[in-house]
Structure 1
Amino acid sequence: MNHRLLEPEGVDLPEPTPSAVNFEMMYALAEYSHEPKLLLWPNGEILFVNQAMCQLVGHSKEFLLQEGRKVLVDRADTRWEPAIQERENVGFFRGELNILHRDGYVLPVELDSRLLYISDGTSFVSVHIRDLRAEKRDKQKIEKQQKQLESALHDLSLVLDSTADLICTFSLDGHLLHINKACFSILGYTPEEMIGKHYRNFIHPEDIPDTEGDTLQVVQKYSTINFRNRYLHKDGTVIYFSWSSSLIKEEKKVYCIARNISQEIASEEKHHENENRLQALLQEGYDMICVLNKEGTYSFVSGSVKQVLGYESEELTGANAFDFIHPEDIPHVLVNFDQVLLGDIVQTKPFRFVSKTGEWRWIETKGVNCFHNPAISGIIINSRDITHRLEAQFQLEQSEKLYKALFENNPDSVFSLNKNGVFTSVNAATVACSGYSEEQLLQMNFVQLLHPDWVKETEGEFSRALAGESKTTETEILTALGERLSLSITKVPIIVNDEVLGIHVIAKDITKAKQQQRLLENTAKRLNTILESINDAFFTLDKDWCFSYVNHEFEKAMGVSNAELLGRDIRVVYSANDYEIFYSSFSRAILLQHPAHFEVFSENLNRWLDVSAYPSEEGLAVFIRAIDARKKVEAELKKLSLVASKTVNSVYITDDEGHIEWVNEGFTRVTGYTLEEVIGRRPGDFLAGPDTDQKKVSRIREKLHYNRPFVQEVQNRSKKGEVYWSKLDITPILDDQNGGGKKFIVIETVITEQKKAEEERAKLTDELLRRNRNLEQFTYIVSHNLRSPVANILGLTSLLTTKGSAELQEGITERLNQTAQNLDSIIRDLNEMLNLQAGMLDAKDHFQLSEVVNQVLQVLPIDSFEKVEVNLNGIQEIISIRSYVSSIISNLLTNAIKYKNPDKPLRVCIKAELHQDDMVCLSVTDNGLGINLEKEGKNLFGMYKRFHFHVSGRGLGLYLVKTQAEALGGYVKVESKPNQGSTFKVWIKNYS
């Protein structure tokens, strides 16, 4: 065996001393290594170059061996001369240099150059090269992203310190780790006074259990939203918060955002997150080269494994690689391993490999099958430690997600403006609040959103923010839909390198709060106006029974002034002997804290009074109304009820809302309900029959508000379920002397027989009209269709009497015969119409729908269609005229066969559906020639109307279908398109 280290062509090397090293295997490892390698004479002439080096620079091996080191050196790189000098002086050099590619561009590499000696004193230069392009790109990308994140975090820090919300971080045991400066303005504490203390030191004692329960939910579910509790201000006042909390499991921290809702300003909280500065750790390492057998056992491990994983080469040699791989990663690594065994060159996904210290390191590996090479007889594995790169990428992604979540998921509108006031970024809440899309906003100036009344003031605040002033102000905008919104806006300058580039803005919608404030002010004004304008006497007493308010009506009724009563005890002003029932009722209302209502005749005032007293924490509110007129009406009604109780008709009395107060015996006789069963109920709620729907009941109740008598016919249902018709004579009784109150007297007359007579007359009228239309049609046929063939017959018979050739006579006879046949067809059609009229008088009977369909199908030719589908949807027996139903189905199927498409087999579907209004829909669908409904729809059901003249027919079938359907209380609808088929739907009444 030749044990030369290298054998470049044309160079004699000294014979090396035999050793335990397998030089052929080392040569093969160097040749197939993924790390570019060179062997040179000290003068720069190349003795050996591997495939990886050729691929890196784009030159062939022959070209490099011929030209030497000079074609690789980038002469513009001044580091080359010092590097060669250092290697000559100390024997080795390691550092970063630039080499040239065949196409002329520069490749940054890390070059490891060492001077080697063999036994005879001959020296060589061993060069190992690592391509730094991907690493530099990744480093530049990470540095760029890190700068962007640092800038974003700087801006975020400004926003967090400027926000009005309380943002803090707790440990899992409840100790405060971080809090923003808003704590001072909200709670009166500085951050230094709160950090490190447990939240129990600041929470209202009553809310501690609920807060601890919410903390447990955060740990179990990772987040809670809109949890409310109370904190104690430094001065002892209570502050209400609404909390949103999130658990960062990896950091064992709870991030919280608290909003001060003490002033009833309803808003959502801004998600808080702790600053998480990204530190990208880039660790340079060397490729680990090793050889595995088919079982995955190491047969060779390079010395670089110590730098990568901390192992000595001897510690891994003979061990199985899969024993060091993380169990979760073994399945996909095995897949890659099998691919390499089949001969593929495979780049694996990153997987975890345990280091000597027990740490899991992320490895990126490339495998090449070299079992075909006897010197190697295994798989060459080139591995690289990418743990730090993955960790840096993961941390960067996490930080970007956290920052983006704080911006995008913020419940308030957050956006940025440049120095000109143009939007540069907007979150989802801004889009939702404004009504404009993100694309529209990014092309707009903020002034375009402002309400005209607020433009000048808001532009001034914008200018002050650009000058470096952070401030919270209010403004108003108009949304895309024109809606006017009030906003509280916090403006924070964006300062980079001492230059203001724009401003960040946090906007909270305070429209509802503003509306509520205005509503409270207006309500107070309206309340005073209402109390002064009501017709009732009204006054209020405090807890000591002293007058606290008296309206004008009370002053007028009692002949006193407001100034005489306010602050005085009512029992002192008005004697208890004169108003004993008042004071006893007032005392009971205050004691029980329940309203009191009573009617009393006051001898002092000589009037009937209706008194209502309503207790509250402040005292007592009292309404007094004079009801003399009502008492008179009630007396009259008692007399009237005595008369009404003896009348034959149904009579009942209702209040102004239609609730029954009294019914006579006639009402009980007609409806079956007694007074006890109906008192307080509305008649329409329990008497309305099937024909009296809720709309009719509502219309009757509307008429009650017109204060005029009216008559209404309704269909009612008695207690036994019997339906009857009634005529209601409704008369209002107005009480003008008692505030306009009213009642209604309803006299109900049963008109069921009259309604039946009216229905019979209506049916008879419809039948006469229908028969008249049929008679007109019959007259039309007689006058038009019969006249032409009769005239032809008369003319032809007159010609027969003339002398002519035999051929002429034969032609006249033939024409006469044809005309007679046409006349016979018309007469038969007329006969069929007469039979149709006669059939309308047939009695309706019970029959099985499936039997009728099967009988019609049996009459049709078997070869006339390819498939007939019948779906009756469970309909069995119906009540109708059997002959008509059979004729309808027969005519529709006959038409389907007659006008089938000659280019495809006929398919027919017969379907039946039962509707809620006791109507049965029979439909026949085919895939035939179809009909142009836009052109022929108006003539579709006329007599002698035909639409396909290549098929013989009389044009009578659809006329019969429509006529019979109408006779059965129904109608016909058609859906059709030319060359696509037709669907005829026939509705008939099921007389069940």
Structure 2
Amino acid sequence: MNEADFNEKLVRYSHDLLCVIDSRGVFIKVSEACSRILGYDQHEIEGKSFTSFVHSEDLEVTVQASRQLKLNSNILHFENRYLHQDGHAVPLLWTATLSEEDGLIYCTATDISVEYKLRGKVEEKETFYRTLIEHGSDMLALLDEDGNFLYANNAFKRILGYEVQHLLCGNSCSYIHPDDLPALRRSWKRAAKLELLRMQDFRVRDAEGSWRWVEAIVSNQIGNKAMSAFVVSSRDITERKHGRLRLEESEQRYKALFENNPDIVLFENRHGVVTEVNQAFRETFGAAADSVVGKSLTELLPPDMAAVNARSLQEALLGSTLRYDLELKPKGAQTMVLDTVKFPVPAGEQVIGAQTIAKDITPIVRSFETIERQAKKLNTIFESITDAFFTLDKEWHFTSVNSEFERIVGATEQEIVGTKLNEHSEFDTEGHFYRQYRHAMETGESVHFEAYSERPGKWLEVKAFPSDEGLAIYFSDITAKVLALKEVEKLSLVASQTDNGVVITDANGRTEWVNEGFTRIAGYTLDEMQGKKPGEILQGPDTDPDAVQQIRKGLQEASHFSARLINYRKSGDRFWVSMDITPILDEKGTVTRFIAVQRDITLQKEAEANLLQLSQHLYQQNKDLQEFTYIVSHNLRAPVANALGLVHLLHATDTSSDNFASIRTYLQTSIEQIDTVLHDVNTVLSVRERDDVLELEPIKVVSLFEQVQAKFEEILQQFGAEVVLAVEPGTEVRAVRTYLFSIFYGLLSNAIKFRSLERTLHITLTAEKKATGELELTFADNGQGFDTRKAADKVFKLYERFHKDIKGRGVGLFLLKAHTEAMGWKVTVESQVQVGTSFRFNIPAEALLS
């Protein structure tokens, strides 16, 4: 091929736009690449001004570049945007030279759309991370080893009211509550030895002097040269902390009401099993009290009373409140008569069990028995009665009242005795009280009821006993008891309404009760959990055995403790849970049950993982910067020094001398070397982004390889090379098209460049599906090869070359590996001198489409 043919084909097949512009700025010749890059045919551009196609925003910089070229007559590099035939802007990198011989400008324009786009994505990514840090809800800070602020984000002002510059002048310890400071200092010392440390609840003073509760996560990045600090992410948990304290206070009040009630109180679940008894129960029944918990109440009662209790339990579970007398004989004691009230305990829309309050009315009952036997001894009976008491004759006249009646009703004996019941509206003569009294009078049956009386404004417990003389009516003020019961009901709803999961287990760790919050978090209902150990239901393959052992140890030691671990929902999904477990002790210090409050912290753990990933990403970027420092120091220093020296020589050399032209030529060579290194650095930076900014798309491997092969077809035929594709035509992967194109292009280019002169070039591309689901793609040639043992870990390093006699820069294999790893693939190489080279690409199963 003669030189003219070579130049013609070079212009025709060049990927860059080659053009010639005359002194008027008019295109007189353009290459065929103008159609591919700008969409215009050659005749549509030739004869037009070079500014006709320039984007309006880049017109000024383009004209300035033209003027600069005419003034200096040197090679000029600049960027601008030309308008494509369809109207969109095409970014171009121009290299222009003014020929002094004919006054024409010779230009090369390279389409840098890909680089332009990647550059924009890098800027967007930097803006994204900066916005995320400055406007996030958490307070982020960098602290040195002594706790001094090195950086703080704007969340400190929003949450605590401090200006950032104010924080940067001081030490973090000055904002910590004195009571919390010793524990935090101990944690800080541990943080120096750990990669990640969670600091539990502590108090921080805000700008107004108030104390806010905070939790923090400390990431030790002292060894990370990009940061050299502790990364502290903290969150305001004041409301949550106060809510937890209120809940604990409410629970203690409920426990106090339950335990200190003078009446016998017990709780039965829906199956009739007693789960709780109070101190009065234990004092009444002694050793039998411990044995009844976890069993049916009927085991403690005689057969007739057991049947009554069973019926009342069923009605209570249906929503009714029942009252009846219960007669039983505790071991070693006399027979007791208990005034028993059994009422439902709701949890949301479901009744979860029944609460029983039993008051010992044995003395009263025995008194009534005495009255029936000795009706004439009213005065003695009157003295023995502690409740309010009055009698009515058959005509509804008051015949007697006692002092307790006077106290509760607020009327004296003189005002009441001798008058009729209907003369006193405060006695509800048309309402519930009267109807009950009339029923007793007419039927001869005693009545026992509770009702609210308007006159004293109190809740009364009333018993009316008919006799031949009329009615004997006893009543007592039970306002405190009723209000206490209502308060207990309110307190019992607290656990059921909280968003956190609440689990109550017995002393052996078997579930007795869970609230709706637990069901929302884990998906399991009370019926599914009852009688089972939570760990047996919730734990799974990824649950940390050490965390499980910590829970077992805490239960054995019967002390309050917290734990974090992975559990599994009923749906099978994993979730992170934070648990606070508290033992409930009886008066002897024996554990009766455990209460666990659970909180779903999955989002928090994911945030921690994202922060760790971000730190690792920053660490990798720091390594890249070190490599670029190496590039600058070893590859830019020499040409820059040469250029500076030549510039000084130019000033001291006559422009008409031969030395001036030589110096200018050397200066041009040095600048071209600088440009080459800068181009390499720009190329390296363009592939450092990770998966989250890559545009993955389905690509047929064979089709793309054939496109690349077509660009080398002429030279492959010239050398008689043989290319074998042993890949199924339908093989399709998810990849970045430009990256995979670059990989195939570099492999074919190297195979041709480093071919053996002793044999015909032979190239193969094969694919093999592995048992793991991966696809192994192998590119092999029979070229000169190199000694991989000597090359060791330098194969893919920047500016490493293994054939000194063949021109190259040592960038190709570095970019090949960078492109491969950016897509999540792995690459290895095997090579032998004068045998050939094989590149193996391991493509993960998730990237395969067919």
Greater gyration radius: 1
TM-score range, shorter-chain basis? 0.3 to 0.5
Q: TM-score, normalised by structure 2?
A: 0.35
TM-score by length of 1: 0.31
